[in-house]
Amino acid sequence: MLEYVNESSPDWVRPVLVFDMGAQTAQLIARRVREAHIYSEIVSPKLSAEQILARKPLALIVSGGPHSVYKDGSPHIDPQLLTSGVPILGICYGFQMLTQMLGGEVASAGRHEYGKAEAKVAANCPLFADTPAEQVVWMSHNDEAKVLPARAKVVASSPGAQIAAFEIEGRPIWGVQWHPEVRHSEYGSQLIKNFLFNAAGLEPNWDPESIKEHEIRQIRKKVGNARVICGLSGGVDSSVAAALVHRAVGEQLTCIFVDHGLLREGEREQVERDYAASSGVKIVTVDESERFLKALAGVKEPEQKRKIIGREFIRAFEDAQRALVKQAGEAGEEIKFLVQGTLYPDVVESGGGEGSANIKSHHNVGGLPEDLSFELIEPLRTLFKDEVRALGIELGLPENLVWRQPFPGPGLGVRILGELTKENLAILRAADRIVREELTAAGLDRQIWQCPVVLLADVRSVGVQGDARTYGHPIVIRPVVTEDAMTADWFRLPYDVLERISNRITGDVPEINRVVLDCTSKPPGTIEWE
């Protein structure tokens, strides 16, 4: 069990630590801090004050959560942190937790306040600098602060919460009942920036150039003169990771592009042609499609698929390692390092820390075999997706590559519900190509973050095609918008685009007789289907 969600945090910046009290929005809070160009990490409330203070945090933020602070077993941070002098902001549950821990009273409100609310804020409070006296905020609470702690004063109120925010006189502690991290709170991002800059007195020091220079130094120090290989998928993450390592160690890096037979149409050609030309990175292509299909034969359970794909990737890299050493005539020389494009959300969603729900075993995290012979280099492990894209631009990668829609390492393996056969893959490739063509033609590529196309291979329904009864599969399209993949909303595709997609798929792909739109947010649904 990891003590911290991110065990490889940079040693050149002091963090703002975000306590995850059980809310998905903990990740959003961390993102808002990063947007202010200050490094943040998510940590468990179970950590002791000694463990937290050893990190020399610049500030602490306590997230919302589903608990009631007055019930047994509700999570609390170490009380010693309240007297540490480190600035603290409590949000929603965090606000209520601070109220109780500082001697105030929290109880059931007897009503709930969900969604938009009008808050009146105090002009002289540093949290609300440069924001209007009345503003729309986003509430989600059943409990409320009934009695203020000692030396606390109310600095905001709403119709459902007379004590909607407080500050402690003489101590760097603030709390707000609403959720400033969500976009529905009009001045929420400004509130978080005000806490960081006005209340806590911090200075921004986290930007693409500083990240690039730091990671290059760290990679050079770690690798020395050793050889390095990178598992290149063609996606944004692995492409940026490879470019960063190449900038650090040059010809010591060889990228292995494994064609696992789960790629979209044209994927291999794009990597071999476009990426190699723009980056100067040496790429070796290995066709392992038969190997993967054989290993996946008869497997339908999604987590098992992920683990098999992760395992076979590593085995393919190990085989490539031996082949490269032999080809180079360097008998006995070991390629020690494997580069992966693991991101911070991958770590969090794979249960990489106390209090983090294991939503999926990411192929870079939970899907690796235990007998891994490589030492991993994960230069993007601290970053969110938009930070990776900014880093890619900083490294000089072309925008069409940096801004391409994410494509998962397991490829179409997590977009087929049912067995991964050549036939099912061919059906999905044909449908996926049509969707991508139509979205591009409609000018929607930069508006949509990702649009998985999913084949329900184990589902058949009656259709009518060519005046004949058919028994075909449904195709699901899943267009989403998101900032960091932690949460997402479905994209409202124009009806004319949907019509063209549906007509083309059902007309050009004989096995498909229904096209279905997934209009589910995340949560409750994940982005991929599996």
Residues known to be catalytic: 92, 179, 181
The angle at the Cα of 130, spanning 192 to 34, to the nearest 5 degrees, equals 25
End-to-end distance of the chain based on CA atoms, in angstroms?
26
Strand ranges, E, within 44-133: 59-62, 88-91, 105-121
Return d(Cα 248, Cα 230) in angstroms, integer: 13
The residue count for the chain: 530
Longest dimension (CA), the chain: 79
Residue 509 and residue 431 in contact, taking contact as beta carbons nearer than 8 Å:
yes
3-state SS string over 260-300? CCCCCCCHHHHHHHHHHHHHCCCEEEEECHHHHHHHHCCCC
SS3 166: strand
Query: Residue 323: how many CB atoms within 10 A of its CB?
Result: 13
Q: How far is CA 82 from the centre of its chain?
A: 30
The Cβ-side half-sphere exposure at 157, using a 13 Å CA radius, reads 7
CA distance to 67, 171, 201, per residue, from 86 (Å): 25, 9, 11
